[in-house]
Amino acid sequence: MSILCVVGEVSRSGYYKYLEGTLKQPVDGALISQIEKVQEEVRFSYGAKRMAKYLSMVDQAPVNHKRVARVMGENTLNARIRKKIHPEYCYRQKRQGFKITDLRLAPNVLNREFSSSAPVRRLVTDITVISCSDGWLYLSAVMDLYNHEILTHQFSKDVTTSLVVRTIRDLAAKFDVAGILLHSDKGPTYRSYEYQNLLTSLNISPSFSRTGNCWDNAAMESFFGHLKCELGYAAKTEAKPTSSKAKLDITKYLGFFNESRIQKKLGFMSPVQYRERGMLQSGSRMAVHQ
């Protein structure tokens, strides 16, 4: 071997490195195909650790996350990373010109405790806007802090009190909401008499973010960020969808997010899987209206 290395003018370590790479190619080829297929299914939302955990569960065999990270990096299969917003930037943008005039609002009862010991007990809600080729599309959604499941959503072409009222009425039609805690920001729609009277009539306890502090509702802000990134709505280079197509895409994504998209915080289960496992363990059932 030493003589061959001298003749070929290569080092022994270089030869073995080449040999190792040659042996890896067929094995990595199968892994590349698996990762590419999964990333297409999950809209390039899985990083190396989540991808390794998912492949291990599917194949019933452990896959090292460092190897997965190398393969993903070498073959442009990394997750799409959404742009991070500094809290000071978020604070200045939202606080500027914002003045509280309604003293009837509840305080920040949730206090950034983004967790719950039972389903449909502690919820958060918010509105986000999607830029479409035929105008703006507003999405109102409610998330369960127990398993991060999106319980209901509504669309509108304008930000009106009707949008948030429809969202809460739909929530009440699906679940027993008496006694739950519902957190939102201090947007005009949530400060309206109609919205607050609706919460009172349904025996829902309100909670509101502090003035200009988007991190008090970080769970919903984070979800909307993932939704826009994974649907390509956050990229300025992407062609804008029509509002009708955006509705279809978002509705389909919400089904995928609830039923299939695994989350590390949930023990690498999807929100629905986590809820169903909890129901089996406790022997209880979610109170759903028939």
Residue 100 clears pLDDT 50, i.e. is over it: no
At 111-131, the pLDDT tens digits run 999 999 999 999 999 999 999
Mean pLDDT of the chain: 83
Is the domain of 58 the same as that of 98?
no
Is the domain of 41 the same as that of 117?
no
Is the domain of 195 the same as that of 117?
yes
Find the mean pLDDT for residues 119-146: 96
Last residue of a domain, one of 74, 106, 128: 74
The band of 99, judged by pLDDT with boundaries at 50, 70 and 90, is very low
What pLDDT is stored for residue 11 in this prediction? 73
Last residue of a domain, one of 20, 42, 74: 74
Indicate the range of 82-86, 195-199, 216-220, 244-248 predicted with least confidence.
82-86
Q: Does the residue 271 lie in any domain?
A: yes
φ, ψ (nearest 5 deg) of residue 272: -65, -45
Residue 110 clears pLDDT 80, i.e. is over it: yes
User: Between 5 and 159, whose confidence is greater?
Assistant: 159
Q: Does the residue 288 lie in any domain?
A: no
Is the domain of 64 the same as that of 108?
no
What pLDDT is stored for residue 26 in this prediction? 55
Find the mean pLDDT for residues 272-288: 75
Handedness of CA 275, 127, 95, 108 (dihedral sign): negative
Is the domain of 159 the same as that of 38?
no
Residue 195 clears pLDDT 90, i.e. is over it: yes
Q: Does the residue 289 lie in any domain?
A: no
Residue corresponding to tokens 């500027």: 96
The band of 17, judged by pLDDT with boundaries at 50, 70 and 90, is low
At 37-46, the pLDDT tens digits run 888 877 787 8
Residue 92 clears pLDDT 60, i.e. is over it: no
Is the domain of 108 the same as that of 46?
no
Beta-carbon contacts of 98 under 8 Å, excluding residues fewer than 6 positions away, are 211, 212
Q: Does the residue 253 lie in any domain?
A: yes
What percentage of residues in the chain have a pLDDT greater than 70? 80
Maximum mean pLDDT: which of 73-77, 85-89, 276-280, 286-290: 276-280
Distance (Å, whole) CA 34 – CA 22: 20
Give the rounded distance of the alpha carbon of 200 from its chain centre: 29
Q: Does the residue 287 lie in any domain?
A: no
Q: Does the residue 200 lie in any domain?
A: yes
The band of 91, judged by pLDDT with boundaries at 50, 70 and 90, is very low
What pLDDT is stored for residue 108 in this prediction? 94
pTM of the model: 0.74
**Enclosing domain of residue 7:** 2-74
Closest CA to 181 of 156, 217, 154, 211: 217
Is the domain of 34 the same as that of 95?
no
Residue 76 clears pLDDT 60, i.e. is over it: yes
* Amino acid found at 23: L
| Domain count within the chain | 2
β-strand pairing of 149-156 with 135-144? antiparallel
Indicate the range of 87-91, 187-191, 231-235 predicted with least confidence.
87-91
